[in-house]
Amino acid sequence: MLDAALAETVLKFPVDIQPFRDMINGMRMDLFKSRYFNFDELYLYCYYVAGTVGLMSVPIMGIDPGSKASTESVYNAALALGIANQLTNILRDVGEDASRGRIYLPQDELEQFGLSDDDIFAGVVTDKWRAFMKDQIKRARIFFKQAEMGVLELDKDSRWPVWASLLLYEQILDSIEANDYDNFTKRAYVGKWKKLITVPVAYVRAVVPPSVTRLAATG
């Protein structure tokens, strides 16, 4: 039944097959790769396992007929949201991944902050770790910011769930900060009440005319 649903979607919408193949490549990577030397390597992994979802989704969600943005820029924003979400997953799950012998953090950047795999496995929050995490969170937020402009260009019926996803996921980063960057023993999450507040906020962003939202975002 799942295959039938996917086949119907591919026939109904102009979905490219390449992101599906790339996602499978990402799943294969987890079979043999547990370290990433630099952010370029990590970015490729994030693209495979999450950025592809954005590329798959745009043809189905649609672009607003009145959008002045290029199709390429909308796809790039969707890709950025996938990267941002996956980076957030990685930062949230450091302790859980370490328990499985996996470290999805750039090795060269860990070294720049005086950290190593041993520090990850020890699971102790230090000033070096806090500084490193602040830097990683800053980068994830840059990708979320890039994604925001693309949400404004989506078809009006698609904006609300995408805004909700973006805002809720970005709040996981807030939770990591609130936990004093302890993602070894504490799992960062968005509480029920915050979720309830965020959903209507996302709705307001979705229904505000894109031109008004763009002015607010750039002003």
Tens digit of pLDDT for each residue in 68-111? 999 999 999 999 999 999 999 999 999 999 999 999 999 999 99
212, pLDDT greater than 70:
no
Mean of the per-residue pLDDT values of the chain: 93
pLDDT for position 10: 84
Output b/e per residue, 180-202; b: 16+ Cβ within 10 A.
Answer: ebbbbebebebeeeeeeebeeeb
- CATH for 171: 1.10.600.10
Quote the domain boundaries for residue 13.
2-218
How many structural domains comprise the chain?
A: 1
For residue 215, name the pLDDT band (cuts at 50, 70, 90). very low
Cα-to-chain-centroid distance, residue 93: 13
| 199 close to 164: Cβ distance less than 8 angstroms | yes
Q: How far is CA 206 from CA 70, 85, 150, in A?
A: 20, 19, 12
Q: How far is CA 104 from CA 10, 32, 48, 62, 175, in A?
A: 32, 13, 14, 32, 19
Token pair listed for 22: 């790339």
19, pLDDT greater than 50:
yes
Question: Rounded to two decimals, what is the model's pTM?
Answer: 0.91
